[in-house]
């Protein structure tokens, strides 16, 4: 078991390393000149050269990469001579536009994304599993058909269209719900929830579809397994057969999808944040991309990848906990 | 558990029909089957896959999905009719009065629960006892079916058992409530030959101990000759021959039974004698051949337009052995001649 | 792989051995949803690819501004957003372009990118998966890890960042990449971040096929690995590949539109569904603009829905184990 955990963690670290190298190379090896971007229009050539030098942009890319990674883990000094600034760990550099530290941008945006992600994830997972199980148990009935139909609609609905519909109907037209804003959870939980309601719904009412479809499919498959028949032959009551025997065995693939979804959501609900104008990580990266503000983009990609890799790992561990057959291999 | 205590057979099935509705039409998996088993008796039900033997076993326990299966006929367990019993009452009988041992213990046991936990569950469903008591009982059963170190094995998962041990554990689970009827659905098919023998011996021992009725569903005449008292031969969803194991094995009456016997390799048989498998495939249950379902594959069929093709043969007693019945249009004398010259017999243990 | 059961002389005539392909097609034809969605998909394809013809018949093209039909603020005059006999779905505010033509041409853009993107993505994934499954061992382990890495990339954020960065690398800082370059880049991203699904699927199938007799036979008769993978193994996994394809197309339609919505899709003046929706969302609060908004989003939604319906039907028909 310990070997399994250690190997899995090492693999995750290696994966993140690869992601960081690829992203870094792509972003920092391109011709667009950050020094130019940081200068105002009438920068002299010398000034640009100075900035380049100060940012270390004239160093070989390997040096730049190691500097960058060192900054994340232990902090580093940016710039040379008098302009030198100490950037504490985790240091993702400074925004090209306003010279603010990238980390402080991220610290401001993360709670918003986290609020959206966790809330939406809880709703969609509960909804997805419940609807999937009910549909499977009532296979072929009207309830099943309605459930399958609704998941098809969910799976076909583009988030940007659906978010906009919610906004148009509940905010602009009827004014039932105020325009989503972020209030920190600890300041006012009710206001926090109200402000997050539409983003949650816009993600969860679409995201549940996959989980429900997966749950239904695996549940149907499990219901025809031999061990479910054995349970019935033992005299286990129907409800227990479904809960304790069938659901238990069919939940594993659902956990995979659900866990991965949480990972992707935590990386930033790009579209939802954009449509509702919530300054989370997704919105931060969209805005940064439009101004080619690479340090911020780089940081958001890395953080999103971190969330995904961690969730993949968690899912693998959960697998091992749930399925005794995994432990041995 | 039953209101009417009868002195007759413990289980009797009358004109059982199990039909499944499918995309392509009605599958007549079982089409009018009757037989009986008494306590302490082992009934072998033989046939190729698709003969309806497993479906029959499943319908005794009421394991078919009522939405897909059309079941008619009568099944009496100790005098109680099962087909019209409420799901709740039926559930109380399952695992207690009647249990089933499945073919492949690896898929039939839940992969996520320990073997011990699954046996405990089976016991506590029908006995209002503490977990500790149930555990003692489970370990006792594991020991009884010959699993070494039962205390340790109790906490292991099915995949940690060898094939033979797993089947023993399955048997321990099925017998934990001392059922009076055990339906064993090909319990040894997935096992090595040496292990097969051990499992059959175990079942025979346990039967002596508990005096239960056993229905042994199998395609393997070797298994039947080992442990069955009586035999029912099924083909195309119907019974084609029935009698004591000795009668059926030594004086088989139906061409299908001959075919089965001729395709069994024997240890002491003549090595120069060829195995003669039955030509063709089992019939499609969607579209069972007219008349005697076996006629397209029967070498002794009376030919085109004869009764074999047009009329479903009745199960009729054999001269001198009224309890030995067969459903065949061939005259008894013809059958006797063929049977004596052209059919290999299997010794009954 | 043609030919299901062996012909059996004793079997009644009515039971005919059918190949899996025939069986699948028969099931597909019998499924009412499949037939209906199949027809709608075909109709959509005809409309989308016949866009110039429709434009000629309808008498409008997607890019002509109609300044005479807008008021001074750029708001279309008349019913809703300027709906009239000449402009069935009205006009876009500010630009004054015909919404119907924008959507028809937008569907064409969507379909071209999604179809070609799906084919390339699946071809790439299948080859990688086949290689991993066929050779196993170290090659398999390395490909597995690369799969992990590819899955770790946050798709939207990465795509958002890469398109402008790589775009400027290709055409230089000053120019805006043309529609062709942008489409190629979008497809490139779909391939690079989308091949993993089909690779895993094909890998699994190949592992189970690897030890089968016909592959053994090919190997024994001295066939090259290349021959075995492409001629013996891959043709045997066409069913799951086709299923993946039919489910990938709608996914790529949504994703392409999402990227356009976020401003990194196909550039002006090529009509694009995602950009029309963005435009509509920006003005949806305006008087009567809900109609424009519903048309724009509704077309995309229905497009994806019918493709999903067809994809589900294809899966059910091709996968005998499928449960519905």
Residue of A nearest to C309 (CA): A152
Q: Are A131 and A151 in contact (CB under 8 A)?
A: yes
Closest Cα of chain B to A231: distance in Å? 8
Beta strands B230-235 and B42-46 are: parallel
C46: pLDDT strictly greater than 60: yes
Nearest residue on chain B to A251, alpha-carbon basis: B112
Decide if B111 touches A, using CB distance below 8 A.
yes
Q: What is the pLDDT of residues C91-116, one digit of tens each?
A: 888 787 888 889 999 999 999 999 99
Residues of A in contact with C265 (CB under 8 A): none
Average pLDDT, integer, range A218-243: 92
Nearest CA in chain B to C9: B280
Whether residue A31 and residue C165 make contact (CB cut-off 8 A), yes or no, is no
Closest by CA to C190, choosing from C227, C228, C245, C234, is: C245
Going by the DSSP 8-state scheme, the letter that residue B66 receives in this structure is T
- Which tokens in the block code for residue C27? 């099931």
Kindly state whether C119 is in contact with chain A, defined as any CB-CB distance less than 8 angstroms. no
Tokens 């227990």 correspond to A240
ipTM of the complex: 0.87
Asked if C323 and A217 come within 8 Å (Cβ–Cβ), the reply is yes
Of A227, A229, A249, the CB nearest to B63: A229
Identify the chains in contact with C, defined as 3+ C-beta pairs within 8 A.
A, B
Running DSSP on this structure, what letter comes out for residue C285? T
Count of C-beta atoms within a 10 Å radius of residue A327: 12
Share of chain A above pLDDT 70, in %: 92
Residue of A59, A297, A99 whose CA lies nearest to C165: A297
User: Which chain A residues contact residue B125 at CB under 8 A?
Assistant: 234-236
Contacts 24+ apart (CB under 8 A), B285-289: B285/B27, B285/B28, B285/B29, B285/B50, B285/B52, B285/B236, B285/B237, B286/B22, B286/B24, B286/B25, B286/B26, B286/B27, B286/C15, B287/B25, B287/C12, B287/C14, B287/C15, B288/B28, B288/B31, B288/B236, B288/B237, B289/B236, B289/C12
**Which residues lie closer than 8 Å to B7 by C-beta, 6 or more apart?**
none
Please give the structure tokens belonging to residue B178. 């001392």
At residue B269, the pLDDT reads 55
Query: How crowded is residue C175: how many other Cβ atoms within 10 Å of its Cβ?
Result: 11
Nearest CA in chain C to B290: C12
- Tell me what percent of chain C is helix, strand and coil, each rounded to the nearest 5: 70, 0, 30
Task: Using CB atoms, pick whichever of A32, A164, A286 lies closest to residue C297.
Answer: A164
The DSSP secondary structure of A77-95, one letter per residue, reads EESSGGG-EEEPSS---B-
Phi then psi for residue A78, to 5 deg, are -110, 140
What DSSP string runs through B231-286? EEEEETTEEEEEEEHHHHHHS--SHHHHHHHHTS--SSS-TTSPP-PPSS-PPPTT
Question: In chain A, whose CA is at the least distance from the CA of C257?
Answer: A158
| Sign, CA torsion B225/B227/B232/B236 | negative
Measured between CB atoms, does B279 come within 8 Å of chain C?
Answer: yes
Q: Would the CB atoms of A229 and B95 count as touching at under 8 Å?
A: no
pLDDT digits (tens, 9 = 90+) for A43-77: 677 777 777 776 677 778 888 888 888 888 888 88
For the cut 70, the answer to whether the pLDDT of residue A329 exceeds it is: no
DSSP C70: B
CA C23 to chain centroid, in Å, comes to 26
List chain A residues with CB under 8 Å of B91: 235-238
The span from the CA of C152 to the CA of A263, in Å, is 9
The Cα C74–Cα B217 span in angstroms is: 82
Tokens for C108? 């064409």
For residue A150 the two structure tokens come to: 């609704």
* Predicted pLDDT at A81: 67
Q: 221-280 in B: which are within 8 Å (CB) of A?
A: none
Chain B contact for A249 (CB, 8 A cutoff): yes
What b/e sequence results for B258-272 when a residue is b if at least 16 CB atoms lie within 10 Å of its CB, and e otherwise? Answer: bbbbbeeebeeeeee
Say what the pLDDT of residue A41 is: 59
Q: Could you report the per-residue pLDDT of B95-115, keeping only the tens digit for each?
A: 999 999 998 889 999 999 999
β-partners of residue B30 are B18
Architecture category of domain B1-97+179-349 in CATH: 3-Layer(aba) Sandwich (3.40)
* B297/C11 Cβ within 8 A: no
Residues of B in contact with C15 (CB under 8 A): 284, 286-287
Per the CB < 8 Å rule, is C153 touching A292? no
What pLDDT does B2 receive?
39
Q: Residue C16 is encoded by which pair of tokens?
A: 């005919």
Contact A264 C154 (CB under 8 A): yes
Q: A37 to chain C: nearest residue by CA? A: C173
pTM value is 0.86
Chain C (4-33) residues lying within 8 Å, Cβ to Cβ, of chain B: 8-12, 14-15
Q: Do B137 and A256 meet the contact criterion of CB atoms below 8 Å apart?
A: no
DSSP string, A244-295: IIIIHHHHHHHHHHHHHHHHHHHT--HHHHHHHT--SHHHHHHHHHHTT-HH
Disruptive mutation site among C141, C157, C261 for chain A (greatest number of A CBs within 10 Å): C157
CB B83 within 8 A of CB B75: yes
In the structure, what pLDDT confidence band is assigned to residue C321 with cuts at 50, 70 and 90? low
Say if residue B242's pLDDT is above 80.
Answer: yes
Q: Is B80 helix (H, G, I), strand (E, B) or coil?
A: strand
**Distance between CA C216 and CA C235 in Å, rounded?**
16
Neighbours of chain B (3+ CB pairs under 8 A): A, C
User: Peptide bond preceding B86: is omega within 30 degrees of 0, i.e. cis?
Assistant: no
Q: Which of A168, A221, A307 sits opposite C284 (nearest CB)?
A: A168
Beta strands A85-87 and A76-78: pairing type?
antiparallel
pLDDT tens digits, residue range B10-22? 999 999 999 998 8
Given pLDDT bands bounded at 50, 70 and 90, which one contains residue C5? very low
d(CA B102, CA B91): 18
Q: Residue with structure tokens 């940064």?
A: A288
Q: How far is B301 from chain C (nearest CA, A)?
A: 13
Residues B186-235 pLDDT 10s: 888 878 888 888 889 888 988 888 899 999 999 888 888 888 999 999 99
DSSP codes joined into one string, B131-153: HHHHHHHHHHHHHHTT-SSHHHH
B296 at C interface, C-beta within 8 A: yes
Query: Is residue C56's pLDDT more than 70?
Result: yes
Contacts of B296 in chain C (CB under 8 A): 10
DSSP state for residue B322 in the 8-state scheme: E
Q: Which chains touch A (3 or more CB pairs under 8 A)?
A: B, C
Residue numbers in C near A11 (CB within 8 A): 145, 148
Which sign, positive or negative, has the C-alpha torsion C132, C136, C138, C144? positive
Q: What residue spans define the domains of chain B?
A: 1-97+179-349, 108-178
**Does B299 lie at the interface with C, CB-CB under 8 angstroms?**
no
User: Closest-CA residue in chain B for A252?
Assistant: B112
Q: Which of C81, C88, C104, C67 is nearest to C279 (CA)?
A: C81
B99 with A234: Cβ contact below 8 A: yes
Residues of C with Cβ-Cβ distance to B284 under 8 angstroms: 11-12, 15
CB contact (8 A) between residue B281 and residue C10 = yes
Find the closest chain B residue to A141 by CA distance.
B67
CB contact under 8 A, C10 and B284: no
Percent of chain C at pLDDT > 70 equals: 90
């Amino acid at each position: 078991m310990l070997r399994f955990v250690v190997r899995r963690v090492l693999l995750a670290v290696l994966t993140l390393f690869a992601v960081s190298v690829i992203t870094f190379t792509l972003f920092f090896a391109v011709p667009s000149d950050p020094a130019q971007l940081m200068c105002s229009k009438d920068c002299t050539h010398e000034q640009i050269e100075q900035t380049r030098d100060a940012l270390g942009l004239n160093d070989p890319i390997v040096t730049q990469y190691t500097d960058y990674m060192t900054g994340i883990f232990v902090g580093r000094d940016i710039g040379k001579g008098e302009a030198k600034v100490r950037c504490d760990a985790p240091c993702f550099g400074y925004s090209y536009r306003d010279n603010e530290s990238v980390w402080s941008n991220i610290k401001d945006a993360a709670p918003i994304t986290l609020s959206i992600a966790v809330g939406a994830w809880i709703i969609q997972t509960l909804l997805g599993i419940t609807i999937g199980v009910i549909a499977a148990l009532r296979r072929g009935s009207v309830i099943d058909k309605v459930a399958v139909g609704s998941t098809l609609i969910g799976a076909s609905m583009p988030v940007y269209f659906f978010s906009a519909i919610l906004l148009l109907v509940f905010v602009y037209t009827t004014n039932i719900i105020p325009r989503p804003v972020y209030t920190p959870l600890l300041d006012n939980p009710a206001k926090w929830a109200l402000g997050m309601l539409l983003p949650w719904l816009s993600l969860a009412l679409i995201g549940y579809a996959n989980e429900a479809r997966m749950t239904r499919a695996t549940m149907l498959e499990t219901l025809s397994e031999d061990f479910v028949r054995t349970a019935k032959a033992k005299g286990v009551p129907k409800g227990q057969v479904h809960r304790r025997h069938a659901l238990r065995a069919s939940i594993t693939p659902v956990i995979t999808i659900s866990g991965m979804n949480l990972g992707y959501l935590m990386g930033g609900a790009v579209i939802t944040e954009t449509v509702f104008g919530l300054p989370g990580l997704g919105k931060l990266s969209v805005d940064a991309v439009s101004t080619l503000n690479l340090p911020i983009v780089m940081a958001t990609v890395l953080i999103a990848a971190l969330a995904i890799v961690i969730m993949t790992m968690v899912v693998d561990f959960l697998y091992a906990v749930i399925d005794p057959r995994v432990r041995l291999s | 558990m039953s209101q009417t205590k009868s002195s007759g057979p413990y289980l009797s099935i009358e004109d059982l029909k199990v039909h499944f509705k499918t995309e392509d039409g009605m599958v007549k998996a079982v089409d009018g089957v009757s037989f009986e088993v008494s306590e302490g008796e082992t009934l072998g039900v033989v046939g190729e896959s698709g003969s309806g033997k497993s479906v029959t076993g499943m319908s005794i326990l009421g394991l078919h999905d009522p939405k897909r299966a059309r079941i008619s006929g009568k099944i009496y367990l100790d005098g109680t009719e099962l087909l019209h019993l409420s799901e709740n009452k039926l559930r109380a009988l399952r695992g207690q009065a009647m249990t089933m041992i499945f073919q492949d213990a690896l898929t039939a046991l839940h992969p996520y629960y320990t073997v011990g936990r699954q046996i405990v569950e089976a016991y506590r469903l029908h006995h209002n006892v503490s977990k500790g008591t149930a555990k003692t009982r489970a370990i006792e059963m594991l020991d009884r079916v010959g699993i070494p170190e039962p205390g340790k094995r109790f906490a292991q998962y099915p995949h940690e058992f060898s094939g033979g041990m797993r089947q023993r554990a399955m048997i321990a689970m099925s017998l934990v409530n001392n059922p009076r009827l055990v339906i064993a659905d090909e319990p040894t098919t997935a096992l090595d030959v040496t292990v097969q023998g051990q499992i059959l011996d175990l079942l025979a021992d346990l039967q002596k101990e508990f005096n239960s009725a056993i229905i042994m569903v199998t395609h393997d005449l070797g298994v039947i000759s080992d442990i069955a008292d009586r035999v029912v031969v099924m083909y195309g969803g119907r019974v084609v021959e029935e009698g004591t194991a000795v009668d059926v094995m030594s004086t088989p009456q139906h061409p299908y039974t001959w075919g089965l016997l001729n395709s069994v390799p024997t240890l002491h048989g003549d090595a120069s004698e060829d195995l003669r498998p039955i030509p063709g495939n089992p019939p499609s249950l969607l579209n069972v051949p007219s008349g005697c379902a076996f006629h397209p594959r029967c070498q002794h069929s009376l030919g085109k337009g004869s009764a074999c093709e047009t009329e479903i043969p009745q199960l009729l007693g054999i001269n001198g052995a009224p309890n030995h019945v067969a459903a065949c249009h061939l005259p008894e004398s013809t059958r006797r001649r063929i049977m004596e010259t052209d059919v290999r017999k299997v010794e009954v243990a | 792989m043609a030919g299901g059961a062996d012909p059996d002389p004793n079997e009644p005539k009515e039971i005919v051995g059918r190949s899996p392909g025939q069986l699948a097609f028969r099931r597909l034809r019998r499924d009412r949803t499949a037939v209906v969605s199949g027809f709608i998909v075909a109709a959509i394809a005809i409309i989308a690819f016949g866009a110039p013809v429709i434009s000629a018949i309808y008498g409008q093209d997607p890019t002509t501004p109609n300044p005479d039909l807008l008021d001074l603020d750029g708001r279309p005059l008349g019913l809703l957003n300027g709906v009239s006999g000449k402009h069935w779905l009205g006009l876009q505010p500010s630009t004054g372009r015909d919404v119907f033509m924008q959507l028809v041409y937008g569907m064409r853009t969507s379909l071209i990118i999604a179809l070609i993107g799906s084919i390339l993505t699946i071809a790439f994934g299948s080859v990688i998966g086949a290689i991993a499954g066929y050779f196993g061992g170290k090659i398999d382990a390395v490909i597995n890890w690369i799969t992990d890495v590819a899955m770790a990339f946050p798709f939207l954020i990465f795509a958002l960042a890469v398109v402008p960065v790589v775009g400027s690398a290709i055409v230089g800082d000053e120019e805006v990449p043309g529609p062709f370059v942008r489409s190629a880049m979008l497809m490139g991203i779909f391939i690079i971040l989308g091949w993993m699904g089909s690779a895993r699927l094909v890998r699994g199938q190949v592992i189970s096929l690897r030890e089968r007799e016909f592959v053994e036979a090919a190997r024994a008769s001295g066939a090259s690995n290349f021959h075995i993978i492409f001629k013996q193994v891959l043709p045997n996994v066409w069913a799951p590949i086709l299923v993946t394809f039919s489910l990938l197309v709608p996914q790529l339609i949504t994703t392409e539109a999402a990227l356009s919505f976020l401003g990194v899709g196909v550039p002006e003046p090529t009509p694009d569904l995602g950009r029309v929706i963005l435009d509509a969302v920006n003005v949806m609060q305006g008087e009567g603009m809900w109609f424009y908004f519903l048309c724009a989003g509704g077309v995309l939604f229905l497009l994806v829905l019918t493709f999903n319906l067809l994809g589900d039907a294809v899966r059910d028909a091709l996968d005998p184990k499928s449960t519905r």
